Structure 1
Amino acid sequence: MSVSTEQRRQVVVVGAGHAGGTLAGVLRQQGFDGTVIVVGAESDPPYHRPPLSKKFAAEDEPQWLRPLEFYSDNNIELRLSETVVRIDRAGHVVHTAGGDRIDYDTLVIATGASARSLPIPGNDLRGVVSLRTLGEAQELRDGVVRGASIAIVGGGYIGLEVAAAARAKGCDVVILEREDRVLARVASSEFSSIVTEFHRTRGTRILTEVTVSEIRGKADGSVESLVLADGTEIGCDLVLVGVGAIPNDKLARDAGIACESGITVDGASRTSDPFVLAIGDVTHRIHDRVDGRVRLESIPSAVEQARQAAAVIVGSDVLAHEVPWFWSDQFDLKMKMAGILTPGTEAVLRGDPSTEKFALFHLEPDGTLDSLETVNAAAEFMAGKRYLANRTRLDRQKLVDLGTSMRDVTLAESATVVST
């Protein structure tokens, strides 16, 4: 069932994060002149979330997604510190915790994801923190001071980014990962090994294949140590829990909207209800370049879906999906990754990791580029991203030869041309 533009005069966005804030701005940029209401549970207006882990230790002001006057200047109603608790799909109304009713013609759910907690004794002690909001970033900043001992549970990108910032502040840092390597879910084993070495040479301790069974506290209720399953006790002043995120899809589930590992959406951010869209980390989406549905917890994906939702609302064409890509800043290392790694590919290294500038190209058996992982290698990343978009076959021997330009690394029969 399609819904005409005339029927979408009042748009209510639940969630004032990166996805929701972007959507509001894009709607106005695309000429939508109806009512736009953005409801956010946090007290802060939409802000850039990557700095929470990448630059949390800096004394900078929050990086707002838009200047604060943008919303009033563009007739966007921001309703902050307000939580939507129920969707009445039949009546096209959302109900807030404060008892308000907000009518909608189109509802956009952009409720994001919440940090997964550790279901162990002591997880509520003072000094046990996650990192999803400005408030949590401030709490982490207060604890990351020279000489402090920081324990990071989880060796994903957030944990590694915080470890890098904490080491730069002169903290003792240990990362505890239950898998056999860091970045086990999101990176190749080759890239994980290189990143592990980067951290260890800078003084970070990394323990893999360990499980935290308890967090012990002092008499004043603050953290004192972690206890591993084998009984090992590790003293610490602060614990960062970075063991993944859970999509905030309860609102949609309770309303009978289809959900599976997040809110189920198509390639244009449409849910099972024709009057409800969903965008950002809360979604389990179709992506043209990925088999099946996938949760892409990234800013590029959130922005892409915000543009999709805006296109649906104003009745314009939905653009083709961008190659999925991600980035991470650790120490002075600019890491950029593109594509979704497929098992069975061959990793081809271009450059030398000891120089802190290299790229790993993951090739299918016929040479087609499947995904890539780079460090301080902007030219390789930009060229590789274009090759991914075109499913270009690359020559392994040319790739490893730094004397060969990235525009010349394709197999002879490939017609793709990439400028560098």
Structure 2
Amino acid sequence: MVNADCHQWISQCGSNHLRPSSARTGCGRSSRAARDCPALTPPDDRPTRVCSPEHRQVHHFRLFGFRRKQMDQRGEQEEVTGMVCQEDDLKDGQMKEVTVEDKKVLLVRTQGQYSAVGSQCSHYNAPLIKGTLVGDRVRCPFHGACFNVKTGDIEEYPGLDCLPSYKVKVKDGKVYVTINKNFLKVTKRVKEMCSMAPDIKHTILLIGGGPAALVCAETLRQNCYQGQIIMITKDNLPPFDKPKLSKAMNVDSSSILLRPSEFFQQYGIDVWTQKEVVSVNTDDKKVKLSDGTLQNYDQLLISTGCRARPLSCPGSDLKGVKLLQSYEDAKEIHNSSLGQKAVVIGSSFIGMEVASYLSDKAASVAMVGSGRYPFERSLGPEIGKMSMQMLEEKNIKFYMNDRVTEIKGENGKVKAVVLKSGTVLEADVVIAGIGVIPNSDFMAGCKLEVDSQKAVIIDKFMRTNIPDVFSAGDVTSFPLAIRGDLRVNIGHWQMSQAQGRVAALNMLKKPTKFESVPFFWTVLAGKSIRYTGYGEGYTEIIFKGKVEERKFLAFYIKDDKVVAAASLMFDPAVAHVAELMTAGQILTKTQAQADDLSWLQM
């Protein structure tokens, strides 16, 4: 149990959040009660303040970038109220987009009660009314983010922020929604977080600046961790939206930052860019940087992701041979391809997206792939063939069942790509997308367990085999709950974010298992293919709709069960499959074969 002094400290911690950021000195006061409270004791018994779950309710949510507005002389904030529907307009499990003062609101009825939240997903502003509602949460139809419809809290990724929630009142058979006028234009909110307290001598070090590290840092602060957080990344930018790089390669850097620099300053998160960890001493709990400096840690997160696999053929070192790994790489590929002959090697998701992007910018685009069709192994030959046809219509030429044997150059620059078949492709720029390698080499000096592909082996709690060392994101090999704890390595943005959250909670002694369902998307020629689950080893595909008409839903079957689903122009089917999988429901081959798709909320 939490003692009385700890109750008092937590109460002060909550009220402190209501002050302007300039007045904050940290989350609460320095107190031996906080240090003595079992609920607040960190893994190494140092005095880190961590609020217990039963006291999370004292922490309020704040709209990032907005100061609390001054109340008027009557002590009331100005609000607007709109009558949005009749009480019996919606049944349980239904939702409706309504309007209050030109503000779109998602109105939901569950368990006989109405609630109202923001209408747009906090990720890319997709309309949630087109999503799927299961229980008390709505899932975005486009990219799979989930939100609690009563609180607006984000419960599954991608995205970082929660939805605003609004007051709902039912009176005389009518439903009213009330919104503070100051927030009529606000579409998202950041969960309340504490900042660092200088007297707390405890450091959590995050190696890597991607989605796992960022969500880990934010989750720590959301749960009242007041020790030092240091994020080390070799990127030139702080955490940014990396999936956009292959889809919009000329994007401005400021538009893809996941958080502004002020955010990290406000919450006491140190972000060290252009720095690389070269070794780790897990006995002394120190990391060594490329500049020779050492940094101590108490707990460590390895979230270094993967690097693009380089070509190994002769000529791969010529000028004009590119890999897509960073923001700078994307800009360079864009600039060097304008009006030039581009050859993309590898018909993976990255390769296909890059080819699609360059189709109207380069003079010509050729794609070289080792299989019959792109995506054949992951999505099947039917969808692979369709994807190839979509890009062929953009004048991209495919050279499949082939591979590169040599890249020829002139004066040190690319001039041609030679294929095993004997075909020679003229080229000014070559972009390779032939897979990735986990970035775990810097851990070679310690006893960290990795698999045959060098992915860091972790358990359901994101723990490695070394105490106080956690790992999350693309660099990991982990047990996937929906496939009976099959050990996998999945490079999805959403999975990395979810693992970052789970790692943070377990660092704080809040035992939490990783149980997220994979969800990803790819964009080709302006069309999005969505996918959920894990289809490795599938033996059959059942289609609804027609692939050749580019409107379909595909169920991937293994052992008479649906293990994955993919779709094009069939929303919100994949989102609903993801929700059912998340709830632990077994989807059968019989269900997939049935003509009635009402179970998918279609």
- Tell me, yes or no, whether TM beats 0.5: yes
Contact 1:5–1:313 (CA<8 Å) still a contact in 2? no
Q: CA, structure 1 residues 344+83, in 2 after alignment: closer, same or farther (shift >3 Å)?
A: closer
Shift of 1:314: 1.6
> C-alpha distance in 2, partners of 1:286/1:317?
16
Q: In the alignment, is the contact (CA less than 8 A) between 1:107 and 1:276 conserved in 2?
A: yes
Q: Are positions 1:188 and 2:227 aligned together? A: no
1:201 is matched by which residue type in structure 2? E
Task: Specify the alignment match of 1:208 in structure 2.
Answer: 400
Between the aligned partners of 2:397 and 2:254, the Cα distance in structure 1 is 31
2:457 matched to which residue of 1?
264
Q: Which residue of 2 aligns with 1:415?
A: none
| Deviation per residue, 1:108-145 (Å, 9 max, x gap) | 11111111011111111121111111111111110232
Q: CA deviation at 1:211?
A: 1.5
Q: SS at 2:481's partner residue?
A: coil
2: CA distance, partners of 1:202 / 1:160: 12
Of the three residues 233, 237, 249, the one matched with 2:428 is 237
AA at the equivalent of 1:47: F
- 1:61-97 Cα distance to aligned partner (Å, 9 max, x none): 4401212211111101111111111111111111112
Tell whether the 8 Å contact from 2:322 to 2:430 is kept in structure 1 after alignment. Answer: yes
Aligned partners of 1:294 and 1:311: how far apart in 2? Answer: 22
In the alignment, the residues of structure 1 paired with residue 539 and residue 579 of structure 2 have an alpha-carbon distance, to the nearest angstrom, of 19
**Structure 2 counterpart of 1:140:** 333
Corresponding position of 1:254: 445
1:393 corresponds to which of 588, 593, 601: 588
Question: Cα deviation per residue 1:186-207 (whole Å; 9 max; x = unaligned)?
Answer: 3222221221222223321111
CA contact (8 A) 2:482 2:581 kept: no
Paired with 1:280 and 1:330, the residues of 2 have a C-alpha distance of: 25
Taking the aligned partners of 2:253 and 2:307, their CA distance within structure 1 comes to 24
Shift of 1:392: 2.0
Instruction: Give the AA of the match of 1:318.
Output: T
Distance 1:54 1:379, change over 3 A: same
For 2:435, the aligned partner's letter is G
- Quote the residue 1:79 is aligned against: 272
Q: Which residue does the alignment assign to 2:239? A: 46
User: Cα–Cα, structure 1 residues 126 and 118, in superposed 2: closer, same or farther, change >3 Å?
Assistant: same
Q: Distance in 2 between matches of 1:93 and 1:159?
A: 38
Instruction: Tell whether the 8 Å contact from 1:263 to 1:283 is kept in structure 2 after alignment.
Output: yes
CA RMSD of aligned residues (A): 2.1
Distance in 2 between the 1:306 and 1:102 partners? 21
Letter in 2 for 1:307: R
Q: Which one of 480, 485, 499 corresponds to residue 305 of structure 1?
A: 499
Q: Deviations over 1:141-180 (max 9, x none)?
A: 10232x3211000000001101111113354111101223
1:11 matched to 2:50 = no
Q: TM-score, normalised by structure 1?
A: 0.90
Give the AA of the match of 1:6. Answer: D
1: CA distance, partners of 2:393 / 2:345: 20
Contact 2:323 2:432 in 1 (8 A): yes
Report deviation, 1:22. Answer: 2.3
Cα pair 2:390 2:524 within 8 Å, conserved: no
Which is worse superposed, 79-88 or 351-360? 351-360
Any idea what the Cα deviations from partners look like across 1:367-403, whole Å, max 9, x if unmatched?
A: x32211111322111122234341222546865x4xx
CA distance in 2, matches of 1:162, 1:407: 37
Q: Which moved more, 1:7-16 or 1:122-131?
A: 7-16
Q: Partner residue of 2:29?
A: none
Rounded to whole Å, the distance in 2 between the matches of 1:356 and 1:67 is: 39
C-alpha spacing 1:344/1:112, structure 2 compared with 1 (3 Å): closer
Q: CA 1:394–1:382 in structure 2 vs 1: closer, same or farther (change >3 Å)?
A: farther
Compute the TM-score of the two structures, normalised by the length of structure 2: 0.64
- 1:349 aligns to what? 543
Are residue 339 (structure 1) and residue 339 (structure 2) matched?
A: no
When residues 397 and 6 of structure 1 are mapped into structure 2, their CA distance, relative to the original with a 3 A threshold, is closer
Residue pair 2:245, 2:251 contacting (<8 A) in 1 also: no
Deviation at 1:319, TM superposition (A): 4.5
SS in 2 for 1:317: coil
Shift of 1:4: 2.0
Q: Paired residue for 1:316?
A: 510
Q: Aligned partners of 1:58 and 1:47: how far apart in 2?
A: 12
Q: How does 1:62-101 map to 2 (within 5 A)?
A: 62-101=255-294
- With 51-60 and 34-43 compared, the bigger mean Cα shift is at 51-60
SS of residue in 2 equivalent to 1:286: strand
Give the residue type in structure 2 aligned to 1:371: A
Structure ranking higher on relative contact order (CA contacts 8 Å, 6+ apart): 1
d(CA) in 1 for partners of 2:487, 2:308: 21
CA contact (8 A) 1:175 1:205 kept: yes
Question: 1:283 pairs with 452, 459, 476, which one?
Answer: 476
Q: Which residue of 1 aligns with 2:106?
A: none
Counterparts of 1:295 and 1:398, CA distance in 2 = 30
The amino acid of 2:488's aligned partner reads: V
Encode CA deviations 1:36-69: one digit per residue, 9 max, x unaligned: 0111112211111101101114567440121221
The C-alpha deviation readout for 1:296-346, integer Å capped at 9, x for no partner, is 111011011101111111222314511112111111211111111143532
Given that 2:219 and 2:501 are in contact with CA atoms closer than 8 Å, whether structure 1 keeps it comes out as: yes
| Separation (CA, whole Å) in 2 of partners of 1:226 and 1:62 | 35
In structure 2, C-alpha distance between the alignment counterparts of 1:13 and 1:68, rounded to whole Å: 17
Partners of 2:482 and 2:292 in 1: CA distance: 43
The residue type paired with residue 4 of structure 1 is P
1:357, distance to aligned residue in structure 2 (A): 2.3
Cα distance in structure 2, aligned partners of 1:171 and 1:255? 49
The answer to whether residue 338 in structure 2 is matched with residue 153 in structure 1 is no
- Secondary structure of 1:33 counterpart: coil
Aligned amino acid, residue 320 of structure 2: G
Amino acid in structure 1 at the alignment position of 2:472 = I
CA distance in 2, matches of 1:281, 1:12: 18
Q: Which residue of 2 aligns with 1:169?
A: 361
| Amino acid across the alignment from 1:106 | Q
Aligned to 1:110: 303
Report Cα offsets for 1:277-304 as digits up to 9, x if no partner: 1111111112212353111111011011
Partner of 2:104: none
- Largest Rg, 1 or 2: 2
Q: Distance in 1 between the 2:294 and 2:521 partners?
A: 39
Q: Does the C-alpha gap of structure 1 residues 194 and 3 become closer, same or farther in structure 2, counting only changes over 3 Å? A: same
Matched to 2:586, the amino acid is: R
Query: Residues 385 and 397 (structure 1 numbering): CA distance in 2 closer, same or farther, change over 3 Å?
Result: closer
1 CA distance for matches of 2:217 and 2:404? 42
Q: Is the 8 A contact 1:217 1:224 kept in 2?
A: yes
Q: CA deviation at 1:240?
A: 0.5
- Mark the CA change 1:186 to 1:398 in structure 2 (over 3 Å): closer, same or farther: closer
Number of aligned positions between the proteins: 403
Cα distance, 1:5 vs. partner? 6.2
Q: Tell me how far apart the structure 2 counterparts of residues 34 and 116 of structure 1 sit (CA, whole Å).
A: 37
Q: Distance in 2 between matches of 1:234 and 1:28?
A: 53
